[in-house]
Structure 1
């Protein structure tokens, strides 16, 4: 439980640290996502020694649940507050179920349907809160990040590859796509690095090593030892901690609409997570990004 608490703290802090990186430090978001992925590849390079079956599909799905969804999140965080982004990110769970209905013929009864409805209502309330309204267009990219992550989570179920090994291949796919895309669409990479090299290095190291390699690996190690129904609900601490860290570190406006929306969305996700499912990989149901 202490390890799970630490993992949730790191996940929540990652949203705030990423906000600082792409907003305060003016680091281009695609470039930041590529640097994070490159560090993951370096740390997990030994896992790339064996090429998995159906490599193109592994790379495509890995891009969706790693660099692709993170890149959209980082673009959104240029204007969105960490608190509002953390709540909108909860939409990943109902989106995953909806995509599973479409692609995997998942059966949904009234309880999970209620959970899906509550989550979307809660997210809508959070978007209409003061913090959400101040976030502007950024929350659209955060929601798009959840859509891409949810799609990847659904198809991950069909791969015969471990979650940590998938991180390595997902990081490689992300670097291959995002680095050239950054230099084609963005500018100011060198200026941002030169202006605050230590701060940038700290943000990238935290996102790549502490969060992606350390926290995610610990999460999946615990999942191998315990039932997913016991472990996965602990991830609902992340949005609560994100709201707290956002208010403390970046001065997010916190009010009853945001807290009420968060409560509804978290109740909906809890219902979704606790209902049985054979078609979905529950750890990625609640954590649609690697």
Structure 2
């Protein structure tokens, strides 16, 4: 699989003059945006329908915060953006103030990911991504992403994926990814989390719970830079329960490379048990796995 690396394109911003004031109070002025131009530096957008969610994600710009009100959303197309935030003006997509948000792919066309982010300095948190016909949440060549307190469940391919060259300095924290399966029916390639097909330093996975996926809990296939994994668990993976039979091959708790990539990954205080294959698997005859603790 070959991924292009020149994918970042600059997006224009909406002037504050065109924003619509929808509320104000002790905390200052609260700005909303027109549905078709949901992006301005320092602007907060609150959405409560699937159509507005699709538009807000597609039109986000540096500094935009998208707050999603509680409920279950059924987008009819992939939530997609190529917009870049910056280290000081991030793009944020999150649940509104502790409300429970589920984004469900039941109405997506076959083969469509639920969310596909192709930009830098995004924060995505406190959202469940479920029932996609393909990948749950995928970020390509992301720099400085923060993905926190997410659930990816029962998707038709890997639940959460980082991929591509230039995948750098991303943090995945407190991800629970389970029940993801191969929609093609083979049981392969559907992992709890994949960091795959690329390179980039500074990527960390902390506090993940990866279980009952049809392939691996964590898969670092063809990723040629060090990934650090801490305080995470992988169990019950590699069981193709949708066909009422065991998965043929794969099914590791932590698969630490493969596909020709030879790199020292760092694991600290992790555990793997009850998987159909190895708990910790290093493909090929190579050295370099460092700081492995747990079982």
Q: Same fold (TM over 0.5)?
A: no
TM-score when scaled to structure 1? 0.22
Q: Which has the higher contact order (CA 8 A, sep 6+)?
A: 1
Q: Larger strand proportion, structure 1 or 2?
A: 2
